[in-house]
Amino acid sequence: MSLILRLSLAALLLAPMGLSAGVARAEDSTVIQVTLSNHRFDPAEIHVPAGKKVDLVVTNKDAEPEEFDSSDLKVEKVIAGGQQATIHLRPLAAGKYAFEGEYHDDTAKGVVIAE
Amino acid sequence: MLAAFIIVFREAIEAGLIVGIVLAATRGLAHRGRWIAYGVGGGVIGACLVAAFAGELGNLFEGSGQELFNAAILLFAVGMLTWHNVWMASHGRDMARQLQQVGAAVASGDRSLMALALVVGVAVLREGSEVVLFLYGVLMGGASPMTIGAGGALGLLGGVALSVVMYLGLLAVPTKRLFGVTSGLIVLVAAGLASQAVAFLQQGGFISMLMTPLWDTSWLLTDGSVPGRLLKTLIGYTAQPDGAQLIAYLATIALMVGLMSATRPRVRPLPAHAE
């Protein structure tokens, strides 16, 4: 029993990893630079091609940390003060996808427009 | 102060609900309060460490360290919840009987308690690190520590209140059924955590299959709203799940239920039945 339990747990933990085997990281994706300063995104309106992988490289020029947050894009990522982070966007259907900096959501707001 | 309250409360929801469920699921186990306190304390320390090293963590694995870390601790929690439920499948009946007869903590289940304390620790660590980063940021930005502290304390109180409501709600379940209900809840919580782990692996670029959302119920309930967050913790709600997340969700349920029924003693166990 104990062996079966352990094997199953191992399978559970490793199964999602297995999916990644053989899947190349997105070398062919479009890269878009975004800066965050004074708790505002620039550009705040980001145009991306629909159906393609896109990487957003977000540079946080503020001293404070920020969390790039978007349930539309299914992304939540902390970017420490003065640091840069790459956000892999999944291929998006045409449409608008809102995002925000969770810690300063009165000013840090933006939208990704896939077209 | 309002911002501090909102952020802290939002983050305290998950940890609050999980503590409530764990308290109910461990009714009748000796020393459970101590273990859960270890979990919360360890989680707070972990949260501060993760927040302090957020930049370094993020830079690992070609910039996807944060996603890998989040996915790993979520899957670790799924493993611990599975362990607890399997343990409960073989001990739950006796525990319910003892509780009905004696009405107090009698059974000992230190290993299962340790597993659940780790789950509590993971929940506190994950949500807590975001709180620490937020508080650090606003204090650095010159906000008054008093008002931020007051807002944060109120938010935390909200999380504690949720724990209490969850716990008392579960205590209203008849003792005979209590562990069946908590085990069922734990299966759904674990399935939700597995699906969130997949989302982090996708975000980090480790999984890129079946990423198209299957449906969108954000017109009904958004992930960010308070009810959305409650349901996210309890049943893994997300407005736009994709294929990989759904597979992880269903596979976790199938695996846990399978393991639990394989472990559950037969209706009339043989006297010689060993584990």
Across the interface, whether the CB atoms of B208 and A23 are under 8 A apart is answered yes
- Count the residues in chain B: 275
Can you give B146-203 as a three-state secondary structure string?
HHHHHHHHHHHHHHHHHHHHHHHHHHCCCHHHHHHHHHHHHHHHHHHHHHHHHHHHHH
- Give domain status of residue A11, yes or no: no
Are A31 and B63 in contact by the 8 Å Cβ rule? The answer is no
Euclidean distance between the first and the last CA atom of chain A, given in angstroms as a whole number: 54
- Give domain status of residue B273, yes or no: no
- Whether residue B241 has a cis bond before it, omega within 30° of 0: no
Question: Which residues in chain A have their CB less than 8 angstroms from residue B130's CB?
Answer: 67, 78, 102
Q: Output the pLDDT for position A8.
A: 57
DSSP E strands in B24-131: the ranges are none
pLDDT at A9 over 90: no
- Give domain status of residue A6, yes or no: no
Supply the ipTM of this predicted assembly: 0.83
To the nearest whole Å, the CA of A47 is away from the closest chain B CA by 19
Are B148 and B3 in contact by the 8 Å Cβ rule? The answer is no
* B231 secondary structure, DSSP code: H
- Give domain status of residue B192, yes or no: yes
Q: In this structure, what CATH number is given to the domain that contains residue A83?
A: 2.60.40.420
The residue among B44, B75, B225, B267 whose CA lies nearest residue A19 is B75
Tens of pLDDT, residue by residue over B26-66, are 988 888 899 999 999 999 999 999 999 988 888 888 889 99
The tokens describing B216, both together, are 């969108």
Which residue on chain B is closest to A29 by alpha carbon? B205
Across the interface, whether the CB atoms of A25 and B71 are under 8 A apart is answered no
Question: Which residues in chain B have their CB less than 8 angstroms from residue A92's CB?
Answer: none
Across the interface, whether the CB atoms of A79 and B137 are under 8 A apart is answered no
Inter-chain CB pairs, A–B, below 8 Å: 141
Q: Which domain holds residue A55?
A: 25-114
Its pTM stands at 0.87
Number of folded domains that form chain B: 1
Number of folded domains that form chain A: 1
> What is the average pLDDT value for chain A, to the nearest integer?
83
- Give domain status of residue A77, yes or no: yes
Across the interface, whether the CB atoms of A85 and B63 are under 8 A apart is answered yes
Question: Which residues in chain A have their CB less than 8 angstroms from residue B240's CB?
Answer: 71-72, 74
Q: Which domain holds residue B40?
A: 2-263
- Give domain status of residue B48, yes or no: yes
Neighbours of B53 (CB within 10 A): 15
- Give domain status of residue A39, yes or no: yes
Tens of pLDDT, residue by residue over A45-62, are 999 999 998 999 999 999
